[in-house]
Structure 1
């Protein structure tokens, strides 16, 4: 292992085992210490509720214990990370998603239950029955890409979600509204099959947006709540990677290494809802960034 990569990993390991929640300690062990998928899923399962959805501050800026769509999306992303779709948790997730599906398709971004608990201001929710591309597009994409369970994909409730996402894309003639919408587009379009011309059209729209002024932030020194190259191309096989120049990717990898804090963590770029929430985010982000550095060979 190169000296620089070894130091990055050692500092992060110390931070994670000192400060990160159990889930992120298990994720770190899985990726860097021959930990097991079962250990990650066991830690994740603690956030799952009786209705099959996920809550309990798995999304650190939403301290609501009740199940939420976006928190369930977070769980699916971790299940995808460790190829854990064979786990019994998926049965509960499908039941929960079917139960909160809105007429005509679409899942709510959040429900008004979040308002009763500490939460970031952007999670304040006025009604329970407003369908949203975020997180519907990502959830549909994740569930279509996995192959452990496929029978539900032909069911009416799931097909309505697919139709809803297509309508959202049709109504956005110039592309996504922001980074979060872009990730919904990417997840959904990467999983699309059976309609190649339609899919190709919206990929062209997406690509134009990603390479435009509102898309990928190329400035390595940009500050605040911005989303740079490695947010979109977390690994070399990410959708956006083909739109990037290798030299630009290397510059941002250098920047990521250099922005590691003395304690081994990486800071967040937005205000957290609480000190505990910030610490949880820093643990999660630290594992995420290490996965990226590993994928690009920077920890070899």
Structure 2
């Protein structure tokens, strides 16, 4: 299959199945679409309290604001280099409200359980802090420079202090924790302090099984291109050229007959699966583009 066919088949899949948001993301990265169009589609998922819900994270179907969909909104603005000040203002307002007394943001609120959701999106209490998504959220807020006055606010300082406490007391546990550590350490202004924790990350990334090297591994694993989805990803230095080549070839072969890429976890519903596959397909195309495959 030539490179043009990969893109054309994926485009057909996206226009048949994907959300407007992911079609706009595709257009931005591959058809000179505007970042403003991406942000406009993203706005539909933002609630009056400033947080994001409404199944922006397709396995959390509840309309109410939740931490991880809010994290995803920040990540989407970051990927198009378009931190919108009004969207940011709402997110800051929401985070100010949900930051816990001793710092940290919960993984998920109990309200997710009132609507269809994947089994891992369940909580028995609303006051349990989690590095996931606190580290990524605070790291991305450090990365953007559209709004910076809130860095001096108590809620923000509490979250940063919570993250440093986690780093002092724990080790990363799984891919989703790892990316929280990496994003925060990359963007915290306290780089001298951060330097003490990079060896912890590096040692963990080198452990067997952290980065799944088998391109055909089944189940919910995170492979070479999950850790290094683009040239310049932090984990690239732990991945050989041979492994990279093997996984890129495997990624091309994993494009399905309908033009999209699969997910490797059980979806909540057919609609949720289509939404996730739209998101993942754009992610896979971005990776292939970054490594010169399309």
Same-fold status (TM-score > 0.5): yes
Alpha-carbon contact 1:13-1:264 (below 8 Å) kept: yes
DSSP 3-state at the match of 1:80: helix
In the alignment, what sits opposite 2:261?
A: 266
Asked if residue 188 in structure 1 is aligned to residue 184 in structure 2, the reply is yes
SS in 1 for 2:184: helix
Equivalent residue, structure 2, for 1:106: 104
TM-score (norm 2): 0.98
* Equivalent residue number for residue 210 of structure 1: 205
Task: Give the unaligned 5+ runs of structure 1.
Answer: none
Task: State the partner residue of 2:283.
Answer: 288
Counterpart residue number, 2:62:
64
Contact 2:185/2:191 (CA < 8 Å) preserved in 1?
no
Indicate whether 1:275 and 2:264 are aligned.
no
Q: SS in structure 2 opposite 1:74? A: helix
Provide structure 2 residue ranges, at least 5 long, that are not aligned to the other structure.
none
- The superposition leaves residues 179-204 of structure 1 with CA deviations (integer Å, 9 ceiling, x where unpaired) of 110011111111123341x3122111
- Map 1:57-96 to 2 at 5 A: 57-96=55-94
> Are 1:12 and 2:1 an aligned pair?
no
Q: Deviations over 1:214-237 (max 9, x none)?
A: 411111121110000110111011
Shift of 1:86: 3.4
Report Cα offsets for 1:87-124 as digits up to 9, x if no partner: 41111000000011111110011111001000000001
1:250 matches 2:245: yes
Q: State TM-score, norm by structure 1.
A: 0.96
> Offset of 1:25 from its aligned partner?
0.5
**Alpha-carbon separation, structure 2, partners of 1:156 and 1:225:** 37
Name the CA shift for 1:4/1:200 in 2 (closer, same or farther; >3 Å): same
Whether the 8 Å contact between 1:178 and 1:214 is mirrored in structure 2 is no
What is the aligned residue count?
Answer: 294
Q: Secondary structure at the match of 2:167?
A: helix
Aligned counterparts of 1:166 and 1:87: Cα–Cα separation in 2: 27
